Each structure stands twice: as C-alpha cells, then as structure tokens.
Amino acid sequence: MAEDRRTRRTRKALRDALVGLVLERGYASITVEDITERADIARATFYSHCRDKDDLFTRLTRDLLDELGARQRPLIAENAVGFTGKPVLEMFRHAEQERDLYRIILRGEGDGKPLRMFVESCVRVTAEEFRGRSERNGVEPRVNPGLLARAWVGEQTAVLQWWLEIDDPRPPAEEVARMLLDLAVHGRYWASGFDVPA
C-alpha cells in the first residue's frame, strides 16, 4: 500500500514536472535531467517508470484518454437516439480540470504524437458510436461515419484548444458545448444566420 502511494506520488511529480517545463520552455528543449531535477527524483527512479521523455508523454496522454473515456462512457451509453451534447460537455469539464496537460497535447508538443493519439482515439470512439446509433435507429448515414467522426472531432478539438488558451474569463464549458451541439444539430448554414431552405 505504501509502495502504491509512493508510485502515485512519483508519477504525479513526473507529470507535473513535464507539463510545467513544456509550458515554460517547449518540449524540444527539455531533457530527462530537467524533468528529474524538477520532480526531485533520481534518474534511476525515472527510468524505472519510463524509457525516455517521449515515453512519459505518451503514458500521460494514454492516462488522460483513459480518464476521459471512463467519464464519457456512461453518457454515450444513454445517448441512444440523437445528440445530447453531454459527452462533449464532459470533455470540456475534464479539460478544464486538466487544463495544462490538454494544452500541451493540443498544441502538438512532442512532434504531434500525443495530439495524433488524442484525435485518433476520439475519432475511433465517435465513429463506433455514430455507426451504432444509425443501426439502433434503422437509418442509413448520408456521410461515411468515419469521415463524419473525423469532422466532428476536428471541430471539437479546434474549439477546445482555442477555449483552453483563453485567459479568464473563459466562456463557461456549458455555453461552448451548447454551441457545438447547435452546430451539430442544425449545421453551419443555420449557424451562420441563414434560414435552412424548405
């Protein structure tokens, strides 16, 4: 039990060190030595957890995606018919709690690998849900679900990055999620102020 607590403390120290250093200096300029010094741990301890700084960043991104998935799964499961916006709102709430880690991922730090992991994971989950929703409701998608998922995730990711980089006051997560929901339900033409042709 004490070892588990120690492991959790070490992982948190490594996470905080990496995120803080990347925000200060950029990912390319930091070293394992910088991370261990900031985290106040021995290099041997670092290497008992990670191969290198890329491995650390990948693990942090995977943990973030696992947390996000656990929070969204029950909301996706209850979302049987149409868009409710609840999974999107949950992502914005999660991002608000984990703002700095989301920021360095969405900025494309680490040669963009964590960003690609984030996008591909979200696209995979979204495409599965779009296909499942179509099957459950007996409708035929008008656009390939994979392309539709990629467009939807691309919009969310771009808006999320913009929102996280705003210094306070930021628009509330609920307001941004509602606008994305309106865009999903009514489309860009409607969102631009035009009446949808009959």
pLDDT in tens, 35-78: 999 999 999 999 999 999 999 999 999 999 999 999 998 887 76
Task: Kindly indicate the confidence band of residue 153, based on its pLDDT and cuts at 50, 70 and 90.
Answer: very high
User: Given CA atoms 44, 46, 52, 55 in this order, what sign does their dihedral have?
Assistant: positive
Instruction: CATH 1.10.10.60 in the chain: give the residue spans.
Output: 1-50
| Tokens linked to 46 | 């670092």
Rounded distance between C-alpha atoms, residue 132 and residue 80, angstroms:
9
Task: Give me the pLDDT at residue 81, please.
Answer: 59
Q: Which CATH superfamily is domain 52-191 in?
A: Tetracycline Repressor, domain 2 (1.10.357.10)
pTM of the model: 0.91
User: Per-residue pLDDT for 126 more than 80?
Assistant: yes
Instruction: Note the pLDDT tens digit of each residue in 70-124.
Output: 999 888 776 555 677 889 999 999 999 999 999 999 999 999 999 999 999 999 9
Q: Reply yes or no on whether the pLDDT at 1 is more than 80.
A: no
Give the model's pLDDT for residue 15.
97
| Residue 2 pLDDT greater than 70, yes or no | no
What confidence category does residue 185 fall into, taking pLDDT thresholds of 50, 70 and 90?
A: confident
Residue 119 is predicted with a pLDDT of 97
What average pLDDT does the chain have?
A: 91
Domain 1-50 adopts which CATH fold?
Answer: Arc Repressor Mutant, subunit A (1.10.10)
Q: Could you say which DSSP state residue 20 is in?
A: H
Per-residue CA distances from 127 to 102, 115, 123, 148, 159 (Å): 22, 18, 6, 8, 19
